Amino acid sequence: MKLHPTARKWCLTEFSSIWDKTLTSVGGIYAFHYHALTQQGQEAWVELYHNYIYVNSLYGHTSGSYGPGSNSAVLELVAGDTVYLDIKHHDSFLYGGGDEVYSTFSGYLLSPIDSHHPVVG
């Protein structure tokens, strides 16, 4: 899937084993949410990465039915950071197609941060 930055959000289009990387142009606190739906009786395991470092994952499976999974993360990013989803290390069977979008990845800026004043707390 390709990520297209528009109005501080990213939309998924085309599927690949690594959901193409998002480059951040503005430093700040960002929220990311991702959701997946498996094919009937199958599994999905999707991992979120920030600058090639694992952040968290989702798992979806329901025996004999479609299996949902979702997760979120709030990350502090600086300009040029990458955030992406990866499914290449697991057998994942995502359900959907061009006109049936059931797996999504969104991110948005919560608050910009001046790079000279780090977050403390």
In the beta sheet, which residues pair with residue 23? 82
Distances (CA, A) of 120 to 23, 81, 84, 112: 24, 20, 26, 15
Q: What is the token pair recorded at 47?
A: 């991992």
User: How far apart are alpha carbons 60 and 94 in whole angstroms?
Assistant: 9
CB 103 within 8 A of CB 89: no
The secondary element (H helix, E strand) that includes residue 15 is none
pLDDT by position in tens, the chain (length 121): 333 333 333 333 334 444 556 667 888 999 999 999 999 999 999 999 999 999 999 999 999 999 999 999 999 999 889 899 988 767 888 888 888 888 888 899 999 987 666 666 6
**Please, what are the domains in the chain?**
16-112 (2.60.120.40)
User: How far apart are alpha carbons 22 and 12 in whole angstroms?
Assistant: 11
CB 77 within 8 A of CB 28: yes
Per-residue pLDDT, 121? 63
In the beta sheet, which residues pair with residue 3? 12
Per-residue pLDDT, 59? 94
